Amino acid sequence: MKDKIIKIIARYHHDRHRLMDILIDIHDLQGYVGDTAIEVLAEQLNMSEVEINETLTFYHFFSKTPRGKYNIFLNNSITACMRGREKVKETLEEECGTEFGSVSPDGLFGLYSTSCMGMNDQGPSAIINDKVFTNLTPYRVKKLIADLKSGKTLDEAIYESVGDGNNSDPDVRSMVFNNIRKRMILLDKNYEKFEVVRNLLLQHSPDEIIGIVEDSNLRGRGGAGFPTGLKWRFGRRVEADHRVIICNADEGEPGTFKDRVLLTEFPDLVFEGMILAAYATGADIGLIYLRYEYRYLYKYLNRILEEMRKENLLGEGIAGIKQFNFDIRIQLGAGAYVCGEESALIESLEGKRGEPRDKPPFPVQKGYLGYPTIVNNVETLAAAVRIIKNGADWFKGFGTKDSLGTKLLSVSGDCKYPGIYEVEWGTSIREVMEMSGADDVQAIQVGGPSGVMISVKDIDNLGTTDLMKWYKPSGMMVAQKTFDRKLSYSDLPTGGSIIIFNNQRNLLNEVVTNFMDFFIEESCGSCSTCRNIPYLMKKKLEKIISGHGVRKDIDDLLSWGKIIKISRCGLGQTAANPVVSSILNFRHLYEQHVKAMADFDNVFDMEKSVEPANNYVGRKANIHHA
């Protein structure tokens, strides 16, 4: 085994920055990375064992101990839970003969939970030895486990049928469905591959390309909304021997799966966007950080990159442009939501724990291996190609004044038609509900757990038959005002996740609790605020739900939600959002729970209660100034 591990390390030229790849390969080889492998790694990479362990123990999909022959990671995102995850989990435990978090006695199955795996439109789903199994039911689980026990291979057991579109490509062969429900300018099938690189780059200088993107006002589609042209310009300005373009394909926000679909159906468009960005900024190094959950696309994407190299679309003198040298490598993650944050992603790309860096310096100044690095979202890069092809004015014909173009929405939850919708910015929540067939709505989570939960407000404003036809009289009603809110950077910004909850859902017990568990699990642990406050909030939430809370607990939650904002990165800064946003928009649910303790709230008087003790020792009570 030692020799094999040494060979793997040699394949990556003993480069410690490729530690993620090396660990993944060792994992593939022996199912875990144990003490012997760690010793070899430390020796061969000239690192300490502590450094190896730091990376190894950070990511969900790595293990230091042996797992099963088949390792089943069952998704625990909120929509999976809403669609029967608990029954699927019980069936897996019964059929495999072991509990979650352990390996079956015969060593055949390991059962584990995992966060949202980008399959919210077809959950509950599971990753089994890197292959995705969707729409699980107890029946399908029984059949799957029986097949594996009988000796069928995973492919034979899983791939009775494949999904739509390129999911049937021989290099994908996945059960995943794209569920594209609405196409506009980005998902337009009318796309001539690499036309922009082949024909238009020669007509524009890098500066002109940046100018067109700036003129279009394209903003980052990952959620932050930073102007893309400006980012490219900043990156180009920094003096350096090398510059780097990173495509952030680590979409981990629960409820988001649009990048999965773009990478499946329009990989060439995304790669073309990377070439465009490289030309504009003078970059020669290209990296795609692909979340581990999408490993089933790895072979397929690499094949396309290989074809591009043969066609001189990657490599040296791309498209006949002298000194335009650029290539793209795919780097797999290993399961860590925080790696969606660009500096954490860069740390991971360098083989380290995915902990966000202090800023400044920003990645455009000093990023991957110290080089100026431009990190763009998958959707942003795809949009840039359409803009260069059709012009900034064309792009400005879509959307609103401050939010131009279109946005891909990943819609899931309680609706008839979950899937991908390409809509113009400025589309109202009402329209999204109509499109997706959501006719019984209690709440909508916009932007995933780190976003906002919008809901019932201003019931007095209701009364139109238009609204009444949508919502059950017995349930909560969403005010017209809320439903006419628009998806835009100035009203409801979103990276694309829209999760719908109907009136049967228990928002506190089911939803907010699930979201808080997610943040507790995903904190990288660097900041004491992010490490502790979500946990304390969850405990307080449980206290309230159990009927032991008082009004002050609600106030405490709101005030802790402010304290956590000082955390270093967006994960911590938004980790209190599920609680805070649900208090702001669903305060009545919290109030219901604390009602039983109302007397305690009103009557308890600390000053009075310690009065006898004070009298006894002859001291005047002054609690408020103590």
Q: Which of 525, 605, 608, 613 binds ligand SF4 (CB under 6 A)?
A: 525
Q: What's the closest the beta carbon of residue 254 comes to ligand SF4, in angstroms?
A: 15
In Å, the largest CA–CA distance within the chain is: 93
Q: What's the closest the beta carbon of residue 58 comes to ligand SF4, in angstroms?
A: 11
Q: What's the closest the beta carbon of residue 359 comes to ligand SF4, in angstroms?
A: 11
Tokens of residue 473, six digits:
């009289």
Check if the beta carbon of residue 267 is closer than 8 Å to that of residue 304: yes
Based on the shown chain and the rule CB under 6 A, indicate whether residue 17 belongs to the binding site for ligand SF4.
no
Name the 3-class secondary structure at 287: strand
Only segment of 401-409, 502-510, 524-532, 608-616 that touches ligand SF4 (CB under 6 A) = 524-532
Only segment of 320-328, 565-573, 588-596, 602-610 that touches ligand SF4 (CB under 6 A) = 565-573
Based on the shown chain and the rule CB under 6 A, indicate whether residue 571 belongs to the binding site for ligand SF4.
yes
Q: What's the closest the beta carbon of residue 527 comes to ligand SF4, in angstroms?
A: 3
The residue among 223 and 549 lying less far from ligand SF4, judged by its C-beta, is: 223
What DSSP state is assigned to residue 437? T
Based on the shown chain and the rule CB under 6 A, indicate whether residue 413 belongs to the binding site for ligand SF4.
no
Q: Which of 231, 236, 366, 568 binds ligand SF4 (CB under 6 A)?
A: 568
Give whole-number Cα distances, 53 to 33, 87, 212, 338, 409, in Å.
10, 36, 46, 18, 38
Residue indicated by tokens 């009203």: 491
Say which amino acid occupies 88. Answer: V
Q: What's the closest the beta carbon of residue 570 comes to ligand SF4, in angstroms?
A: 7
Say which amino acid occupies 354. Answer: G
Q: What's the closest the beta carbon of residue 515 comes to ligand SF4, in angstroms?
A: 15
Interacting residues of 479 by C-beta distance below 8 A, sequence separation 6+: 456, 457, 458, 459, 461, 462
Q: Which of 124, 220, 340, 572 binds ligand SF4 (CB under 6 A)?
A: 572
Interacting residues of 300 by C-beta distance below 8 A, sequence separation 6+: 166, 169, 171, 172, 267
Based on the shown chain and the rule CB under 6 A, indicate whether residue 124 belongs to the binding site for ligand SF4.
no
Tokens of residue 382, six digits:
């795809």
Based on the shown chain and the rule CB under 6 A, indicate whether residue 204 belongs to the binding site for ligand SF4.
no
Q: What's the closest the beta carbon of residue 77 comes to ligand SF4, in angstroms?
A: 19
Measured CA angle at 356 (ends 230, 271), to 5 deg: 50
What distance in Å separates the CA atoms of residue 483 and residue 454, rounded to the nearest whole number?
9
Only segment of 84-92, 282-290, 564-572, 615-623 that touches ligand SF4 (CB under 6 A) = 564-572
Q: What's the closest the beta carbon of residue 250 comes to ligand SF4, in angstroms?
A: 14
Say which amino acid occupies 118. Answer: G
What distance in Å separates the CA atoms of residue 119 and residue 297, rounded to the nearest whole number?
14
Q: What's the closest the beta carbon of residue 578 comes to ligand SF4, in angstroms?
A: 15
Q: What's the closest the beta carbon of residue 353 comes to ligand SF4, in angstroms?
A: 10
Only segment of 249-257, 473-481, 483-491, 525-533 that touches ligand SF4 (CB under 6 A) = 525-533
What distance in Å separates the CA atoms of residue 493 and residue 222, rounded to the nearest whole number?
10
The residue among 144 and 571 lying less far from ligand SF4, judged by its C-beta, is: 571
- Residues within window 463-522 making contact with ligand SF4, judged by CB under 6 A: none
Q: Which of 338, 339, 498, 580 binds ligand SF4 (CB under 6 A)?
A: 338
Nearest to 554 by CA among 591, 517, 529, 585: 591
Based on the shown chain and the rule CB under 6 A, indicate whether residue 22 belongs to the binding site for ligand SF4.
no
Q: What's the closest the beta carbon of residue 406 comes to ligand SF4, in angstroms?
A: 30
Q: How many CA atoms lie within 13 A of 255 on its CB side?
A: 30
Q: Is 575 exposed, middle or buried (0-12, 13-18, 19+ CB in 10 A)?
A: buried
Q: Which of 24, 88, 420, 527 binds ligand SF4 (CB under 6 A)?
A: 527
Q: What's the closest the beta carbon of residue 122 comes to ligand SF4, in angstroms?
A: 29
What is the DSSP track for 492-530? B--SSEEEEE-TTS-IIIIIIHHHHHHHHHH--S-SHHH
Based on the shown chain and the rule CB under 6 A, indicate whether residue 356 belongs to the binding site for ligand SF4.
yes
Residue indicated by tokens 């400006």: 230
What distance in Å separates the CA atoms of residue 37 and residue 207, rounded to the nearest whole number?
49
Check if the beta carbon of residue 531 is closer than 8 Å to that of residue 563: no
The residue among 152 and 562 lying less far from ligand SF4, judged by its C-beta, is: 562
Only segment of 269-277, 449-457, 544-552, 569-577 that touches ligand SF4 (CB under 6 A) = 569-577
What distance in Å separates the CA atoms of residue 160 and residue 365, rounded to the nearest whole number?
49
The residue among 258 and 568 lying less far from ligand SF4, judged by its C-beta, is: 568
Pairing between β-strand 497-501 and β-strand 443-446 as defined by DSSP bridges? antiparallel
Residue closest to ligand SF4, measured at CB:
572
Based on the shown chain and the rule CB under 6 A, indicate whether residue 345 belongs to the binding site for ligand SF4.
no
Q: Which of 531, 540, 551, 552 binds ligand SF4 (CB under 6 A)?
A: 531
Nearest to 537 by CA among 488, 478, 577: 577
What distance in Å separates the CA atoms of residue 28 and residue 11, rounded to the nearest whole number?
15
Based on the shown chain and the rule CB under 6 A, indicate whether residue 567 belongs to the binding site for ligand SF4.
yes
Q: What's the closest the beta carbon of residue 357 comes to ligand SF4, in angstroms?
A: 9
Name the 3-class secondary structure at 429: helix
Based on the shown chain and the rule CB under 6 A, indicate whether residue 523 belongs to the binding site for ligand SF4.
yes
Q: What's the closest the beta carbon of residue 516 comes to ligand SF4, in angstroms?
A: 14
Only segment of 258-266, 316-324, 566-574, 576-584 that touches ligand SF4 (CB under 6 A) = 566-574
Q: What's the closest the beta carbon of residue 519 comes to ligand SF4, in angstroms?
A: 9
Based on the shown chain and the rule CB under 6 A, indicate whether residue 526 belongs to the binding site for ligand SF4.
yes
- Residues within window 374-393 making contact with ligand SF4, judged by CB under 6 A: none
Say what the alpha-carbon torsion angle 434, 267, 155, 81 is, to the nearest 10 degrees.
-30
Q: What's the closest the beta carbon of residue 16 comes to ligand SF4, in angstroms?
A: 22
Measured CA angle at 74 (ends 69, 80), to 5 deg: 160
What distance in Å separates the CA atoms of residue 16 and residue 48, rounded to the nearest whole number?
11
Q: Which of 187, 512, 524, 583 binds ligand SF4 (CB under 6 A)?
A: 524
Size of the site for ligand SF4 (CB under 6 A): 15
Name the 3-class secondary structure at 487: strand
The residue among 507 and 524 lying less far from ligand SF4, judged by its C-beta, is: 524
What distance in Å separates the CA atoms of residue 340 and residue 247, rounded to the nearest whole number?
11
Q: Which of 41, 186, 433, 569 binds ligand SF4 (CB under 6 A)?
A: 569
What distance in Å separates the CA atoms of residue 49 and residue 429, rounded to the nearest whole number?
51
| Positions that interact with ligand SF4 (CB under 6 A) | 338, 355-356, 523-527, 530-531, 567-569, 571-572
